[in-house]
């Protein structure tokens, strides 16, 4: 069988957010090359006989260069193996996919791309925010907090609170971010939500405004910043409770709920016991 490379999105964290196709490919691949941000729960779905390599970078120092990753993809697939290149979220959003697509194409190796749930959409779901709420926003912009060339982001010159911004890799210099947003013309009262560790049991949300952003707590990475009128309705805190993991599948047995609201299960139990409305 000819080798093939699959560029696969692992989603933001919760293995239940994998596509069925991604799940099937993880079960059948010969080799999986993954990034640091790919969550352990997803990696545990890979059979023990599969060759699994972390080719991610840690704290800015690259353990494996992009060129080496390209060469590995080509080498494994050229020897007839089915290679999954697993990236967090969606592979085509801030995932350096372009370089890998090019390298695989130049080597005349078949490539298939399997999309995943990007962190912005995971964060919107966690914060229960409609990114394009029809009365509050008519556009969404995905931005990187810093570009390859500079440590700073390329924010558009004119921003509108009716365009929802989702800033990936926002860094921790919130004072600077807030200055740049104000300089772009956004009012200080524009709502923001910092969403940390989306779809993991440690998921946290902090809602604030651009003018108060510099006072916000530095929540654990990875984080995303949602800016715009729609962020004003972000639920303030939405930690997912600890979940038990099924040792057979590695999937979490979902016992979901929000810190802000009584969980429906508890509510129903109370109600059945006569403590309800
Ligand atoms: N391809 C990925 C993005 C990789 S860039 C995707 O589509 O989601 C890495 C950045 O994504 C992080 O710095 C952070 O801003 C964001 N990110 C990825 N996973 C996240 C998560 N679980 N929670 C919050 N932000 C996340």
CATH value at residue 163:
3.30.950.10
pTM above 0.75, yes or no: yes
Assigned domain for 201 exists? yes
36 is an active site residue: no
The residue contributing the CA closest to ligand 1 atom 24 is 223
pLDDT value, residue 247: 41
Same domain flag for 153 and 125: yes
Of 84, 117, 150, the domain-final residue: 117
Assigned domain for 195 exists? yes
Same domain flag for 55 and 144: no
The number of C-alpha atoms within 13 Å of 48 and in the hemisphere containing its C-beta is 2
169 is an active site residue: yes
In tens, the pLDDT along 176-189 reads 999 999 999 999 99
The answer, yes or no, to whether the previous bond of 222 is cis (omega within 30 of 0) is yes
Same domain flag for 133 and 105: no
Assigned domain for 144 exists? yes
Of 87, 117, 147, the domain-final residue: 117
Domains in the chain: how many in total? 2
Assigned domain for 183 exists? yes
Same domain flag for 111 and 15: yes
Of 75, 100, 117, the domain-final residue: 117
Residues of the chain with pLDDT under 50: 59, 241-277
pLDDT value, residue 190: 96
Same domain flag for 56 and 134: no
Candidate of 15, 88, 171, 225 to mutate for ligand 1, largest count of ligand atoms within 8 Å of Cβ: 88
Same domain flag for 129 and 229: yes
* 8 touches ligand 1 (CB under 6 Å): no
Assigned domain for 246 exists? no
Same domain flag for 185 and 201: yes
pLDDT value, residue 258: 31
pLDDT value, residue 156: 78
Query: What does the DSSP 8-state code read for residue 151?
Result: S
* 125 touches ligand 1 (CB under 6 Å): no
Direct distance between the N- and C-terminal alpha carbons of the chain, in angstroms, rounded to an integer: 64
Assigned domain for 251 exists? no
1 is an active site residue: no
CATH number at 21 reads 3.40.1010.10
In angstroms, what is the span from residue 211 Cα to ligand 1's centroid? 24
The total of other beta-carbon atoms located within 10 Å of residue 108's CB is: 8
Q: Which of 206, 242, 200 is nearest to 224 (CA)?
A: 206
Domain that holds residue 165: 120-233
Catalytic residue among 14, 35, 90, 136: 35
pLDDT value, residue 236: 67
Same domain flag for 136 and 154: yes
pLDDT value, residue 149: 56
270: tokens are: 């109370």
- Tell me if 199 sits within 8 A of 14, measured CB to CB: yes
Same domain flag for 111 and 126: no
Assigned domain for 125 exists? yes
Element (H, E) at 142: strand 139-144
Assigned domain for 260 exists? no
- Tell me if 32 sits within 8 A of 73, measured CB to CB: no
In angstroms, what is the span from residue 222 Cα to ligand 1's centroid? 6
Same domain flag for 113 and 126: no
Helix, coil or strand: residue 78: helix
């Amino acid at each position: 069988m000819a080798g093939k490379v699959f560029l696969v999105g692992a989603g933001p964290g919760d293995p239940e957010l994998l596509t069925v196709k991604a799940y099937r490919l993880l079960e059948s691949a010969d080799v999986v090359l993954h990034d640091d941000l790919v969550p352990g729960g997803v990696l545990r779905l890979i059979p023990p006989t599969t060759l699994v390599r972390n080719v991610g970078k840690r704290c800015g120092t690259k353990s494996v260069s992009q060129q080496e990753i390209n060469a590995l993809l080509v080498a494994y697939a050229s020897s007839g193996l089915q290679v999954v290149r697993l990236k967090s979220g969606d592979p085509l959003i801030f995932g350096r996919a372009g370089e890998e697509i090019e390298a695989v194409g130049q080597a005349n190796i078949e490539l298939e791309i399997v999309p995943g749930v990007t962190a912005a959409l995971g964060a919107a779901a966690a914060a229960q925010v409609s990114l394009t709420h029809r009365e509050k926003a008519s556009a969404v912009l995905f931005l990187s907090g810093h570009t390859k060339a500079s440590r700073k982001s390329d924010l558009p010159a004119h921003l509108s609170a009716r365009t929802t911004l989702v800033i990936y890799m926002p860094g921790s210099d919130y004072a600077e971010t807030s200055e740049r947003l104000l300089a772009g013309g956004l009012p200080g009262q524009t709502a923001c939500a910092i969403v940390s560790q989306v779809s993991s049991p440690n998921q946290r949300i902090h809602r604030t405004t651009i003018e108060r952003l510099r006072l916000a707590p530095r929540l654990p990475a990875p984080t995303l910043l949602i800016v715009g009128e729609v962020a004003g309705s972000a639920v303030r805190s939405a930690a997912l409770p600890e979940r038990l993991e099924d040792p057979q599948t590695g999937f979490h047995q979902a016992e979901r709920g929000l810190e802000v609201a009584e969980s429906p299960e508890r509510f129903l139990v109370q109600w059945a016991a006569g403590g309800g409305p």
